[in-house]
Amino acid sequence: MAIIATTFGTGLSYAGQLPFKRVTAGEMGQKQQRMVVVRAEGGGGGINPEIRKNEEKVVDSVVVTELSKNITPYCRCWRSGTFPLCDGSHVKHNKANGDNVGPLLLKKQ
């Protein structure tokens, strides 16, 4: 996975997959303004590296009143071995990529 960071207003911008190609904001056709955009690119295959790739779209639904635990973590990093549930794989992903993703917590009331 490549992380693309774009910093406008500082005179430096980065675009493309690793290794980064250094370009100016003007070369990217952007107005000079202060903002940072960081997004994950899935290396040509999207953000999902391997979860249920035989499905056209991965969609899950949960009836919240039927949750078995008081708090149920759902994966948002697409790295869980128990997807759609979080198995803590985001910790390894965050350390390896300097990322900060974490699960969606569904709380039973």
The two structure tokens encoding residue 61 = 């639904």
Phi, psi of 85 (to 5 degrees): -80, 150
The dihedrals phi and psi of 14, each to the nearest 5 degrees, come to -130, 140
- Least spacing, CB of residue 34 vs ligand FES, in Å: 30
Q: What is the dihedral of CA 95, 61, 105, 50, to 10 degrees?
A: -10
Q: Which residues bind ligand FES (CB under 6 A)?
A: 75-77, 79-80, 86-90, 101-103
Q: Which is nearer to ligand FES, 25 or 75 (CB)?
A: 75
| CB closer to ligand FES out of 67 and 101 | 101
CB of 10 to ligand FES, least distance (A): 31
Which residues are annotated as catalytic?
Answer: 57
Residue 2 to residue 97: CA distance in whole angstroms: 9
Measured from the CB atom, is 16 or 46 closer to ligand FES? 46
